[in-house]
Amino acid sequence: MAKVQSSGNDFCPQSLFLYGNYEENGTPHFGLFCWFSYCWLDSGLGVMACIGEEKTTKDLIRKTGVFSANLVNEPLLPLADYYGSTSGRENPDKMKRLPTIERGRVLNVPLIAESPVNFELKVLSERNLSPGCDLFVCRAENALMDERLKDQSLPVIERMKIAQPVSTVAESTYVNFFGQELGKWGGIAKGAEAINRPRP
């Protein structure tokens, strides 16, 4: 195979997560993230989450020391795209659109009911990597998944069709794991109206 010089991680699929926290007044807050991966800590599953620039999500993680990570599936994508293309600092009413919220079972974090996999994360350490870019090493205090994903009578690929996770691979494009392009970053947020829930 002939190789050409690459500028980065194009075609290295990244799973998308919505990081959740509670604002001081109790309103759930979400931002969209893909710099997310796993590690193993003595005490169990660990997560490495990298956040660039100062933003509401980072403010809240620093303030509370915890957050949720909710796997983005196809039905959630319009809302996730809206959360990823709308700055919390610049849009105080960003959270006028909300999914169905459940309280964390172990930590005080908002979980997205429509998401097939939720992590409740406690920050163990923060490391500054470059100006504005910070790595949060976290311990998964709890992990939940759609009970259908545990059904080992179904082949894994059938359960992937249930989970419907969304990835991004290159050129600001959302894709699924079944060969379909789902749209461009910031280009499908308008559909969020269809699945949002009115704020209580």
Ligand X SMILES: Cc1cc2nc3c(=O)[nH]c(=O)nc-3n(C[C@H](O)[C@H](O)[C@H](O)COP(=O)(O)O)c2cc1C
Q: Which residues bind ligand X (CB under 6 A)?
A: 16, 31-35, 50-52, 55-57, 84-89, 94, 168, 185
Based on CB atoms, which residue is closest to ligand X, 17 or 163? 17
Q: Closest Cα to residue 101, out of 185, 21, 4? A: 21
CB of 158 to ligand X, least distance (A): 26
Confirm if 65 and 109 have CB atoms less than 8 A apart: no
Q: Which amino acid is at 123?
A: V
The distance of closest approach from Cβ of residue 129 to ligand X in the complex, given in angstroms and rounded to an integer, is 11
* Least separation in angstroms between CB 81 and ligand X: 6
Place of tokens 């990835």: 167
Distance CA 53, CA 30 (A): 16
Apex 25 CA angle, 185 and 30, nearest 5? 15
Q: Shortest approach of ligand X to residue 54 CB, angstroms?
A: 9
Closest to ligand X by CB, 50 or 143: 50
Smallest distance from ligand X to CB 153, Å: 34
Q: Which residue of this chain has its Cβ atom nearest to ligand X in the complex?
A: 88
Between residues 34 and 45, which has the closer beta carbon with respect to ligand X? 34
Residues 36 and 48: their CA atoms lie apart, in Å, by 6
Instruction: Report the C-alpha gap between 160 and 164 in whole angstroms.
Output: 6
| CA end-to-end span of the chain | 56
